[in-house]
Chain A
Amino acid sequence: MSDREAILARIGSAWPWQAASTEVVGRPVERESWALFTERLHGLGGEVAGPEALTTLVERSVYSDEDAAAYLPEGVRCVDDPWQAEIGVTLVDWAVAETGSLLIATGSDRRRLASLCPPHHYALVPEGRLLATLEEALGHLTVRTTVLVTGPSRTADIEGVLIRGVHGPGSLTAVRL
């Protein structure tokens, strides 16, 4: 008998189940979405900026999503090695006001390591891509592998002291296009 058959045999048949009659609602937040998103991301140690923030990338080494490259100003040094780049630039699919999160899917013009390896992450949020709740954002999941990023990389493993930038980027800037 294979392990699969053995496990399924041990589990045996199903038993009836009755759903709980509760309904879960998130705490409603009556705030303008960008104000809330900004407040949440600030609370996590991230920044929200306008497109002019991209001019600070000039002369610096950048590892970028292909579909984000069009937004980069001239003079940015684009590199092909994510481990050597100072800044990673990605285009986000959705931003979430409630949690200050960014939903980023993989794809043909995307690079998974752009939001992960360089010490600074610039995430471009196009017009109309901000959603109020996590439910709405996760409702937009596609068949592609996706990551939900909420603030800079962090740890509190040593005596509970909060440290940013352990393995992922220590700084995160959401750029509102």
Chain B
Amino acid sequence: MANPPMEDFARRLRPSTLEGIQSATVGRVRERVRLLPFVFADVEAARTQAASIKDEVLADLGGNLVRFEAACLKHGIQVHWALDAARAREIVLDLASRAEGRLVVKAKSMVTEEIHLNAFLEAAGFEVVETDLGEYVVQIDGDHPSHIVAPIIHKTRYEVARSFAQKGLGPYTEDPGELTLQARARLREKFRTASIGISGVNFGVVESGRLVLVENEGNSRLSTTAPSIHIAIMGIEKLIPREADLPLFLRLLAGSATAQRMTTYVHLISGPRREDESDGPREVHLVLLDNGRSAIRSGPYRDVLRCIRCGACLNVCPVYRQASGHAYRHPYSGPIGAVLTPLLEGLEKMGDLARASTLCGACEEVCPVKIPLPHHLLRLRDEAARQGLAPKGIPWSRFASVADEPPMWRSGLTLLPLASGLSEKGWSEVRAAPRREGRPFRRWWDERS
């Protein structure tokens, strides 16, 4: 495959970057493990239940979308359908063009990364401002988020300090509190004057047509409250059937993502401002995005559509910790990205991601909706191999022909120590061959009695 292996990328990372990712992910894992048993009497039952509810949504996805649409319309939420990224971008541009101003404030949203919305709107003459602190840093640096939940996990405070000073946000400081205040001051002006707010959606409740957005900073609420037009973009899989399912999912998401009992803000949006209300957006639009999801649903990987984007699988993944999110070349990184990205972008282009896994199984163990990620990774590898996309490696067929013949095998074992060149060169670019120690088992067995 033409893609540079993730190992190359990982090897070029700075030690400070790796240390930051390591400590942040390990810390989050520890806190999550400590908290969840206090939240649920039986964590396992909660995960099983959540997986089952998401499967319920996916089983009748068409019916659920139609019911959800009807419930949204009843509140005055205007619903738009987009088969692919290009269509979603057109819809958003069309809606935004009707606004008076050209300033867009954005809440953190992975789906807008997926459809490359910012660059598109900017080319059309809009000023697009990311308002989540981490996403704002990413934007002014011309960088990309490297974690689903913690976008600048790959940056140190010193890098943020330099960026802010360069962009004239205030006097140079390395204090995270001061840096946060500088961003707050700059972004408040944007919230105040923007005429369009764009967000994702964490959960769409089918029975009530409610859009549920969770966050900690308040930027998502501001983006969806202060401007006169709110445009929400949502993957078609993000539904949950009932309002009564909300406590389970809110607890699982907050616990799995950031080890909180509840995120600071849960915004439950049911329509634009009503006639008797003095603030809130005058229009609320919902863009329902397919972009390959319906195809995933009808195939063997369908349960990746249960994903609630908590990032827990990134935090536990030994490959993510060594390679960083950028190594995945796509907004969705870590184990979920290694499965989802090849499905969205094609095996040819992204199939190598599925090989970047130790198959240790940690991701499946922590997944709040029990997605069998290691199973899917293996299946993707198999598919890639069948399509002739597997990398060239050790010629295992030759190994098999030797191992099949006892005399050949025995002489092979005797000759192995002589092949010392092998251990210097290694098995492959990135793996050293194990050193032989002591005598062979067979000889020990023979000499035993």
Contacts and interface: CB of A to CB of B under 8 A. Distances in A.
Nearest to A172: B264
B159 to A, nearest CB: 10
B268 A163 contact: no
23 contacts: A7-B65, A7-B294, A11-B65, A11-B298, A12-B62, A17-B55, A17-B56, A17-B59, A19-B52, A26-B40, A27-B40, A28-B41, A138-B243, A147-B267, A155-B134, A158-B155, A159-B176, A161-B177, A165-B184, A167-B184, A167-B218, A168-B217, A168-B222
B219 A166 contact: yes
Interface in B247-285: 247-248, 250-251, 258, 260-271, 273-274, 276-280
B199 to A, nearest CB: 13
B225 A116 contact: yes
Interface in A89-132: 98-101, 106-108, 110-113, 116-117
Nearest to B290: A7
Nearest to A108: B276
Which interface residue of B83, B210, B247 has the most chain A CB atoms within 10 A?
B247
B23 A160 contact: yes
A155 B181 CA distance: 11
Contact of B45 (A24, A106, A159): A24
Interface residues of A, number: 70
Contact of A148 (B52, B150, B268, B279): B268
Contact of B133 (A106, A135, A158, A169): A158
A11 B64 CA distance: 11
Given A12-B62, A158-B180, A166-B219, 15 more contacts: A6-B83, A10-B295, A14-B63, A15-B59, A17-B59, A23-B45, A25-B41, A27-B40, A99-B261, A116-B218, A116-B225, A145-B267, A145-B268, A148-B265, A168-B218
Contact of A160 (B24, B66, B243): B24
A127 B46 CA distance: 33
Interface string B319-362: 00000000000000000000000000000000000000000000
Interface of A: 2-4, 6-8, 10-17, 19-20, 22-28, 40, 44, 83, 98-101, 106-108, 110-113, 116-117, 133-135, 138-139, 141, 143-161, 163, 165-169
A166 B225 contact: no
B331 to A, nearest CB: 17
B243 A141 contact: yes
A14 B59 contact: yes
Interface residues of B, number: 96
A140 to B, nearest CB: 11
Nearest to A168: B218
Contacts of B10: none
B221 A4 contact: no
B225 A158 contact: no
Nearest to A15: B59
A156 B156 CA distance: 12
A153 B218 contact: yes
B265 A11 contact: no
9 nearest A-B pairs in the assembled complex, by CB-CB distance: A168-B218, A20-B52, A14-B60, A17-B59, A108-B276, A167-B218, A157-B134, A10-B294, A148-B266
B133 A11 contact: no
B268 A167 contact: no
A40 B39 CA distance: 13
A53 B122 CA distance: 48
B131 interface: yes
A27 B270 contact: no
B277 to A, nearest CB: 6
Given A16-B59, A17-B60, A152 B264 contact: yes
B45 A149 contact: no
B40 A24 contact: yes
A28 B208 CA distance: 28
A165 B62 CA distance: 41
B61 interface: yes
B215 to A, nearest CB: 9
B247 A145 contact: no
B152 interface: yes
Interface string B194-219: 00000000000000101000001111
B42 interface: yes
Contacts of A44: 264
A168 B137 contact: no
Nearest to B23: A160
Which interface residue of A113, A157, A168 has the most chain B CB atoms within 10 A?
A157
A145 B280 contact: yes
Contacts of A26: 39-41, 247, 251
A149 B150 contact: no
B265 A147 contact: yes
B160 interface: yes
Contacts of A169: 218
A145 B278 contact: no
A130 B268 CA distance: 20
A110 to B, nearest CB: 7
B372 interface: no
Contacts of A154: 216-217, 264
Contacts of A101: 262
Given A14-B63, A112-B225, A7 B278 contact: no
A106 B41 contact: no
A85 to B, nearest CB: 13
B152 A157 contact: yes
Contacts of B155: 158
Contact of B62 (A14, A20, A40, A138): A14
